[in-house]
Amino acid sequence: MTTTHAGPAGPEEAALAAAISPEPDIVTCDACPVLCRIRAGKTGACDRYGNVAGRLTRMDPLTVLVRAPTAVRFAGDDWSGNPIAAKDVFVTAIGAGTTYPDYKPAPFIVGSEVDGVDMVTVVSEGIFSYCGLKIKIDTDRHLGAECAPVRANGEIVGHVTTAEYGSQMLSLGGVHHLTGGSKKEGVATCDTLLALCNGAAVDLSVDGGASVIVKSGAAPIVDGVPEQRMRVGCGSATIGIFASQWLGHADEVIVVDDHITGVLTEHQAGKFLGMRAAGIRVRGRRSTPGRYFQVANPGLGWGGTDIIDPLAIIERIDPKLAWPGLRLLMVSTTGEHSAWFVLDDELAPRPEPMPATISDAVARIGENCEPALCTVLFMAGAGGSLRAGATENPVLLTRAAQRGRARVTSGGAPVYIWPGGGITFMVDVATLPANSFGSVPTPALVAPIEFMLPLADYAALGGHVGRVRRVEDVLAQARPRAVAPPEGVAFPISRATAPPASVAR
């Protein structure tokens, strides 16, 4: 019984597979190190490959991106060679399959002409043991201390990293969690990465912190509460933005923020407007005039602090400076929390109904906040063995990618390649077609990756030019699924994609 891939299997692969799997109703999948033996009508451990009538088959269709999907006639089984121009279709690695060991040529090495230049796209679903996610969660709320472990299904799958401007970053996965811990930890990590990459919601918990439901492109849900707004800025920035709009309507404004709490009349913005010092001193460490650090502990309350009653951050009120009737607005950096006080004859702040002008000013803060979202970036190292599927001299592919001679995409989506050695790339999972990722039980993630470069350059870097197939032939054989790039993502083939051919160095 021979095994064949959805992609082109050479006679040596078929011979090897036959040698491994002599039973007539079993095919051996050689697309990853697991080497599943698959009975007729069944799929392997990852469900990506199955035994269909004795043939090893990639169960998901090859996915191609098309520039104008309404003009495409090759959907489904009816395709029989149609007039679509090669420059209007891009063969992605989604559903392309993998080759193992890596020195075998990639499943599809596609030749096409773009703007008069012969181009090659090397297409493969990479198996990534070195991969992880960088997740940006737009929230002021304290999710946990920096370096705190992040768990999924009770297993540590990553950690909290830096707090950024209005966002908390998490780092999930990486080779240590995939391979360096228990089998359970590796499986939980792989499952978590896969779910997030494919756009599913995942329930995470931070040791000593909050629980958060994360889904690419959706608002985070922190301890059961959906986040609404991403802060307009820190407390100091909020004052810098809105100070002139508060002038004449409030005598003091304190913007409560876990990082930098702002006090208007002390702040340079208030001074510039000629505001009278109000004499209200907040707790914490004074950084510069009107800017205070550590006014409270981090938490889920006002401005990412643990404050429920904003007056708790007032340390003292100076009777030499403050006056009865002083009007005080306290507000958070999203405008989600706000309170209006007037000092009584003893200079104690008394809550009062908020005037309409102040309500409008608070609403203006909220209006300037962007919706809170989760952003999931997949990061992986493609500088390893998968390069051998593209060329016999892998370092030349690395150089071509680093120098922009070979354009690297993931499912047709643009990637960012880190400077320095290797091909370490990052891609926003929301820019790939739905369900572009898979996994294998080694455990590792499976992600599409494509290298596009001029044919002349490909030959110069030792590419497998004998395995190049015209795009029309690939489309005819593979009967692909045609989709448009996700909204807002540019079609991957453009004039810039096809630089003049030159010899790779």
Interface with ligand SF4: number of residues (CB under 6 A)? 13
Residue with tokens 């009584």: 344
The H-assigned helical ranges of 404-454 are none
**Region of 24-32, 59-67, 211-219, 406-414 interacting with ligand SF4 (CB under 6 A):** 24-32
Query: Binding of ligand SF4 at residue 31 (CB under 6 A)?
Result: yes
Q: How far is the CB of 123 from ligand SF4 (least distance, A)?
A: 17
Residue nearest to ligand SF4 (CB): 44
Q: Which is nearer to ligand SF4, 4 or 268 (CB)?
A: 4
Contacts of 69-76 with C-beta under 8 Å, sequence gap 24+, read 69/482, 69/483, 69/484, 72/482, 74/475, 74/479, 74/480, 74/482, 75/481, 75/482, 76/479
Q: Is the peptide bond before 101 cis (omega within 30 degrees of 0)?
A: yes
Alpha helices in 328-413 (DSSP H): 356-367, 394-402
Please list, in sequence order, all residues whose beta carbon lies within 8 angstroms of the beta carbon of residue 309, skipping any fewer than 6 positions away.
Answer: none
Task: Tell me whether residue 277 is exposed, middle or buried, using C-beta atoms within 10 angstroms of its C-beta: 0 to 12, 13 to 18, 19 or more.
Answer: middle
Residues in the chain, total: 505
Only segment of 16-24, 29-37, 134-142, 375-383 that touches ligand SF4 (CB under 6 A): 29-37
* 34 lies in the binding site for ligand SF4 (CB under 6 A): yes
- Decide: is 437 part of the binding site for ligand SF4 (CB under 6 A): no
Calpha distance 453→213 (Å, rounded): 40
480: tokens are: 């692909």
Report the nearest approach of ligand SF4 to the CB of residue 127 (Å).
8
- Can you say how many angstroms the Cα of residue 496 is from the centroid of all Cα atoms in its chain? 25
Residue 248 sits at φ, ψ, to 5 deg, of: 90, -15
Binding status of residue 128 toward ligand SF4 by CB under 6 A: no
Distance CA 62, CA 94 (A): 6
Tell how strand 444-454 and strand 438-440 pair up. Answer: antiparallel
Residue 66 lies near ligand SF4 (rule: CB under 6 A):
no
Give yes or no for residue 143 binding ligand SF4 (CB under 6 A).
no
Residue 59 binding ligand SF4, by CB under 6 A: no
Cα 14 off chain centre by: 38
| Candidate residues 1, 26, 32, 468; the one interacting with ligand SF4 per rule CB under 6 A | 32
Residue 29 or 219: which CB sits closer to ligand SF4? 29
In whole angstroms, the minimum distance from the beta carbon of 375 to ligand SF4 comes to: 29
Choose between 36 and 91: whose C-beta lies nearer to ligand SF4: 36
Q: Residue 94 or 219: which CB sits closer to ligand SF4?
A: 94
441 binds ligand SF4 (CB under 6 A): yes
Q: Is 174 in the site for ligand SF4 (CB under 6 A)?
A: no
Told to check if 187 binds ligand SF4 by CB under 6 A, we report no
* Residue 29 touching ligand SF4 (CB under 6 A): yes
Of the candidate spans 25-33, 168-176, 220-228, 243-251, the one that interacts with ligand SF4 by CB under 6 A turns out to be: 25-33
Q: What is the CA radius of gyration of the chain?
A: 29
Among 1, 27, 36, 160, binds ligand SF4 (CB under 6 A): 36
Q: Which stretch binds ligand SF4 (CB under 6 A): 30-38, 113-121, 180-188, 253-261?
A: 30-38
Torsion, CA 465, CA 471, CA 474, CA 479, rounded to 10: 160
Candidate ranges 34-42, 292-300, 402-410, 458-466; the one touching ligand SF4 (CB under 6 A): 34-42
Alpha carbon 457 to chain centroid, angstroms: 31
Binding residues among 84-103 for ligand SF4 as defined by CB under 6 A: none
The tokens describing 359, both together, are 């309500």
| Minimum CB distance to ligand SF4, residue 439 (Å) | 9
Residues 39 to 58 in contact with ligand SF4, rule: CB under 6 A:
44-46, 48-49
Residues that bind ligand SF4 (CB under 6 A): 29, 31-32, 34-36, 44-46, 48-49, 440-441
